[in-house]
Amino acid sequence: MSVRVRFAPSPTGELHIGGLRTALFNFLLARKHSGTFILRIEDTDRKRFDQHSADHIQQALRWAGLDWDEGPIFQSQRIEIYQKYSQELVDRGAAYPCFCTPERLEQMRKAQEAQKLPPRYDRRCRALSPRERNQFLVEGYPHTIRMMVPEGTTSFHDIVYGNITVRNQELDDQVLMRSDGYPTYHLGHLVDDHLMQITQVIRGEEWLPSTPKHVILYHAFGWEIPQLCHVPNILAGRGQGKLSKRHGAVSVIAYMQEGYLPQAVINFLALLGWSPGNDQEIFTMEELIQAFSLERVAHTGAIFNREKLNFTNGYYIRQTPLAELACQIKPYLVQAGQISAEDTIQQPFLLQALQTVQERMKTLSEAPDLLSFYFNPPEVPASLLVPKKSTMEEIRASLAGAISLLSTIEDFTAPVLEKALRQYTVENGLATARVLWPIRAALTGKEASPGAFEVLQVLGKDESLRRLEKALTVLDSPKTLD
Ligand code: GLU
């Protein structure tokens, strides 16, 4: 049987990075087996439905390269189907209408809480006689449909968690249909997984406790149960809980905005909870598809490691051809006011400048800061111009010498500049830092930046000399030097 899997998010907020990982695992399995990857939007909770979220989920999946083969299928457009199957369960004696009012249920919940009991429906409406039940229905009392949990135990197998058995007395008579006529997740997903011939249900571990109820429903319908695979949560740190908003950005859109590349996020997420069985760290999507298997998903929660994500992102940024990277950083430069939206990004000055910082860029959003000195001449205090173990007089002298030398060079390119400046240090018996540090500091205003030769070349002779002269004036009348 060919593999058919689905990603079935509820559009109630921004797509969590853990949701993207669930989508990825589904996608990888489908591609590996030349199967079908379905996108199903589970939008039956009308109170929490958010159209923006439904759009954003699709945008995030496309961005990440997780194209789906069928869908998006919106459950809200399939209501009659769930109503039919809910009725079928009632007819089979596996579900029943519940007329309890929200107020009564709320009181019951509070009483259980006070007695430290798990919240559970007390099954009052199970005990209604057929006559009472019919009468209420005829009179049109609002009602939900609840599953009737049978006695005994329920067992199933999960690919990650192994064999699980629970006593049914621990299970609640779950609401399957709300009083507004929409199904709850529990019925909706199950009916769809069956009708859509899903072969593997891959989803977050938070659904594991509900799975026995789903298994009971499969039995009640007489349907085959797909393979089940619950993926452990992404943890914020060792001994910490699930990664959530209080730990920083968790929505995929936030990572997109911060300038993480989709390949990096995919590579990073794949290794969160799944292991290839060797120490390979960088994977193309094609390699992931080849290597992936559900059997190698670990059942311990995987820890979200931001440094590792940054490292991976830095790797992919370095791999990106310069012209392409330039297009990717353009929106950030425009937003920072460094260029305008009409400016072409493919101009030699910008490309060369970008090349000098590509190596150290961890996210695209760092570009404006890393490149800032190219756009705006920095204010450089004397304290930055003078490296440790040098005096101001020494630096003034070496800088003045360097300026005279640079003003004689016509071919203002990094190799020529490097040769000339190194010769200058040797001839004058100067430590390299005494010459290169103040030049670099004067040009960039930064403690850490690309090297002096490259920056000189990108800024060009006139602008470089202007900045160096200015630094010399600062050294002549320093405002601060501590
Ligand atoms: N709508 C559910 C969610 O967003 C889907 C769970 C499942 O994949 O079965 O968590």
The CATH number of the domain where 366 resides is what?
1.10.8
- pLDDT digit string (tens) for the chain, length 482 residues: 799 999 999 999 999 999 999 999 999 999 999 999 999 999 999 888 888 999 999 999 999 999 999 999 999 999 999 999 999 999 999 999 999 999 999 999 999 999 999 999 999 999 999 999 999 999 999 999 999 999 999 999 999 999 999 999 999 999 999 999 999 999 999 999 999 999 999 999 999 999 999 999 999 999 999 999 999 999 998 888 888 888 877 899 999 999 999 999 999 999 999 999 999 999 999 999 999 999 999 988 899 999 999 999 999 999 999 999 999 999 999 999 999 999 999 999 999 999 999 999 999 999 999 999 999 999 999 999 999 889 999 999 999 999 999 999 999 999 999 999 999 999 999 999 999 999 999 999 999 999 999 999 999 999 999 999 999 999 987 655 44
User: Among 375, 409, 440, where does a domain finish?
Assistant: 375
Q: Is residue 208 included in any domain, yes or no?
A: no
- Total of domains in the chain: 4
Q: For residue 22, report the distance from its CA to the centre of ligand 1, in Å.
A: 10
244 shares its domain with 289: yes
> Does ligand 1 lie within 6 Å of residue 25's CB atom?
no
Q: For residue 271, report the distance from its CA to the centre of ligand 1, in Å.
A: 21
Q: Is residue 481 included in any domain, yes or no?
A: no
364 shares its domain with 413: no
**Domain extent at residue 450:** 382-476
326 shares its domain with 290: no
367 shares its domain with 437: no
Is residue 242 annotated as part of the catalytic site, yes or no? Answer: no
In the set 32, 84, 110, 245, the catalytic residue is: 245
Burial category of 360 from C-beta neighbours within 10 Å (exposed 0-12, middle 13-18, buried 19 and up): middle
Q: For residue 42, report the distance from its CA to the centre of ligand 1, in Å.
A: 7
260 shares its domain with 297: yes
Q: Which one of 12, 42, 56 would you pick to mutate in the ligand 1 pocket, going by the greatest count of ligand atoms within 8 A of its CB?
A: 42
Q: Which atom of ligand 1 is nearest to the CA of 9?
A: 4
410 shares its domain with 456: yes
Q: Is residue 183 included in any domain, yes or no?
A: no
Q: Is residue 387 included in any domain, yes or no?
A: yes
36 shares its domain with 97: no
What CATH number does the domain containing 143 carry?
3.90.800.10
CA distance 423 to 261: 42
Cβ neighbours, 10 Å, residue 417: 23
Q: Is residue 44 included in any domain, yes or no?
A: yes
433 shares its domain with 455: yes
Tokens 């059942």 correspond to 299
Q: For residue 231, report the distance from its CA to the centre of ligand 1, in Å.
A: 12
Q: What is the pTM of this model?
A: 0.93
Q: Which one of 207, 231, 233 would you pick to mutate in the ligand 1 pocket, going by the greatest count of ligand atoms within 8 A of its CB?
A: 207
Q: For residue 203, report the distance from its CA to the centre of ligand 1, in Å.
A: 6
> Does ligand 1 lie within 6 Å of residue 262's CB atom?
no
User: Among 335, 357, 375, where does a domain finish?
Assistant: 375
Burial category of 238 from C-beta neighbours within 10 Å (exposed 0-12, middle 13-18, buried 19 and up): exposed
> Does ligand 1 lie within 6 Å of residue 203's CB atom?
yes
Q: Is residue 217 included in any domain, yes or no?
A: no
87 shares its domain with 173: yes
Which residues touch 189 (CB under 8 Å, ≥6 apart)? Answer: 8, 42
388 shares its domain with 467: yes
What CATH number does the domain containing 461 carry?
1.10.10.350
Q: How far apart are the first and last CA of the chain?
A: 75
User: Among 319, 341, 358, where does a domain finish?
Assistant: 319
52 shares its domain with 36: yes
394 shares its domain with 458: yes
Q: Which atom of ligand 1 is nearest to the CA of 202?
A: 8
